[in-house]
């Protein structure tokens, strides 16, 4: 006979996943209209302030007194003392976060979520398709891939955004482009005549990209409409659903599977994602209002 009626609770006193650590803003940079990048450092912990994360993971950042929002980590996982986050200021919380400056305290919970399958990319061509702010959660993957360059086949970055003013991380893209071992194509929806780069949707870049569809992996992140069409173009180019990964976004209040907000069919975006292999969510992407 059991001694008590409640179920055995997993051993070990788990930390409360809803309590934020206190971090501090070190740097604040404007990347594009309404898009800001904050570098954070953690005050507590082991003293070194190191924070290990995988490319594609996110944190919940708190603007004290205002609220909390899920923000992608957009920095180099090999520099765990610099916690880089890229924020688009669209609401009360993200606006408050984007207004924080050097020295301001900020709450941090994380890292959360399943990240990009960098290990799966070994020996394959890697096609990275980014749209708008989607380049931010993909940048850590790019850092990781370029740090171990010899492990992978071709690395191709296809980046589409609204206009030349909205291009994120422009300096970094230009310096990567000067490398001989990565192909970068950037396109915008419209531009003034001073822009001599591509104008048109990013899906058109996919058709022109030269990679081996039988030995390639694609990482896709951007607005959902753009991801649907990018995936269609990747499949048209010969990629299998099991070789395509995308990062989803949904409303999140807890990031640990308790609040229920981020449900997408059978999955919780916060803990089963945000990165998903396409075959797992393919049927859900085709449904409206799911």
Partner 1 sequence: MDTVGQAVLTPDGLQILLDALRRRSYRLVGPTVRDEAIVYDDIAAIDDLPRGWTDEQDGGQYRLLRRDDDALFGYAVGPHSWKKFLHPPVLRLWRAERDAQSVRVAPEPEPDERFAFIGVRSCELHAIAIQDEVFLGGAHVDPHYRARRQGAFILAVNCGQAGGTCFCASMNTGPKAEAGFDLALTEIVGDNGYIFVVEAGTEAGLAALADAPHRAATQEEIDAAESATARAAAAMGREMRSDDVHDLLLRNLENPRWDDVATRCLTCANCTMVCPTCFCTSVEDTSDLTGAESSRSQRWDSCFTMDFSYIHGGSVRASARSRYRQWMTHKLATWFDQFGSSGCVGCGRCITWCPVGIDITEEVRAIRESESAEKGSDGRA
Partner 2 sequence: MEGLERIVKEHPFFAGLGEEFGNLVSGCAQNARFEAGQYLFHEGDPADQFYLIRHGRVALELAAPGRGALTFLTLNEGDIVGVSWLVPPYRWTDDARALGLVRAISIDAACLRRKCEADHDLGYEMMKRFVPVLVERLEATRLQILDVYGVPV
Question: By the 8 A CB rule, do 289 and 132 touch?
Answer: no
Contacts of 132 (CB under 8 A, 6+ apart): 160, 161, 162, 166, 222, 223, 226
Other Cβ atoms closer than 10 A to 88:
18
By CB under 8 A, is residue 160 in contact with partner 2?
Answer: yes
Q: Sign of torsion, CA 176 135 278 146?
A: positive
Per CB under 8 A, the segment of 54-62, 156-164, 263-271, 278-286 that binds partner 2 is 156-164
The residues with which 126 forms a beta bridge, in sequence order, are 155, 217
Question: By the 8 A CB rule, do 56 and 137 touch?
Answer: yes
* Choice between 267 and 285, CB closer to partner 2: 285
Of 221, 240, 231, 236, the residue nearest 124 (C-alpha): 240
Of partner 2, partner 1, none, which one sits near residue 14, judging by CB under 5 to 8 A according to partner kind? partner 1
Give me the least distance between CB of 61 and partner 1, in Å please.
12
Interface with partner 1 (CB under 8 A), residue from 261, 280, 282, 285: 261
The residues with which 218 forms a beta bridge, in sequence order, are 127, 244
Alpha-carbon span 130 to 139, nearest angstrom: 10
Give me the least distance between CB of 113 and partner 1, in Å please.
12
Per CB under 8 A, the segment of 16-24, 112-120, 183-191, 248-256 that binds partner 2 is 183-191
27 secondary structure, DSSP code: E
Alpha-carbon span 88 to 97, nearest angstrom: 9
Q: Examine residue 150 and say whether the peptide bond preceding it is cis (omega within 30 degrees of 0).
A: no
Of partner 2, partner 1, none, which one sits near residue 31, judging by CB under 5 to 8 A according to partner kind? none
Alpha-carbon span 227 to 65, nearest angstrom: 35
* Choice between 147 and 232, CB closer to partner 2: 232
By CB under 8 A, is residue 285 in contact with partner 1?
Answer: no
Of partner 1, partner 2, none, which one sits near residue 238, judging by CB under 5 to 8 A according to partner kind? none
* Choice between 188 and 216, CB closer to partner 2: 188
**Which of positions 52-91 make contact with partner 2 (CB under 8 A)?**
88, 90
Give me the least distance between CB of 249 and partner 1, in Å please.
6
- Where on the chain is the footprint of partner 2 (CB under 8 A)? 33-34, 88, 90, 131-133, 160-162, 166, 187, 189-193, 195-201, 203-204, 208, 222-223, 225-226, 229
- Where on the chain is the footprint of partner 1 (CB under 8 A)? 1-7, 9-10, 14, 16-22, 24, 43, 62, 64-68, 90, 105, 107, 223, 249-251, 253-254, 256-261, 263, 265-266, 268, 271, 287-290
């Amino acid at each position: 006979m059991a001694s008590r009626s409640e179920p055995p609770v997993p051993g070990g006193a788990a930390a409360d996943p809803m309590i934020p650590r206190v971090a501090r803003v070190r740097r604040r940079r404007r990347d594009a209209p309404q898009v800001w990048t904050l570098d954070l450092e953690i005050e507590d912990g082991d003293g070194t302030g190191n924070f290990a994360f995988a490319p594609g993971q996110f944190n919940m950042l708190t603007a004290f007194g205002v609220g909390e929002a899920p923000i992608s980590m957009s920095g180099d996982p090999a520099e765990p003392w610099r916690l880089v986050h890229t924020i688009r200021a669209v609401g009360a919380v993200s606006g408050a976060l984007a207004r924080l400056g050097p020295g301001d305290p900020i709450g941090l919970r994380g890292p959360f979520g399943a990240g990009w399958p960098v290990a799966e990319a070994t020996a394959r061509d890697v096609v990275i398709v980014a749209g708008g702010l989607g380049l931010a959660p993909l940048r850590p993957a790019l850092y990781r891939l370029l740090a171990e360059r010899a492990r992978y086949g071709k690395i191709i970055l296809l980046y589409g955004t609204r206009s030349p003013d909205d291009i994120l991380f422009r300096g970094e893209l230009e310096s990567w482009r000067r490398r001989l071992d990565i192909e970068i194509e950037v396109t915008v929806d419209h531009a003034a005549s001073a822009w001599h780069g591509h104008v048109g949707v990013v899906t058109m870049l996919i058709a022109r990209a030269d990679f081996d569809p039988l030995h390639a992996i694609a990482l896709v992140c951007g607005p959902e409409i753009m991801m649907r069409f990018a995936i269609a173009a990747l499949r048209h180019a010969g990629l299998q659903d099991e070789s395509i990964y995308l990062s989803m976004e949904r409303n999140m209040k807890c990031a640990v599977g308790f609040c229920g907000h981020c449900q997408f069919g059978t999955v919780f975006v916060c803990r089963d994602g945000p990165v998903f292999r396409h075959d797992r969510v393919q049927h859900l992407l085709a449904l409206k209002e799911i």
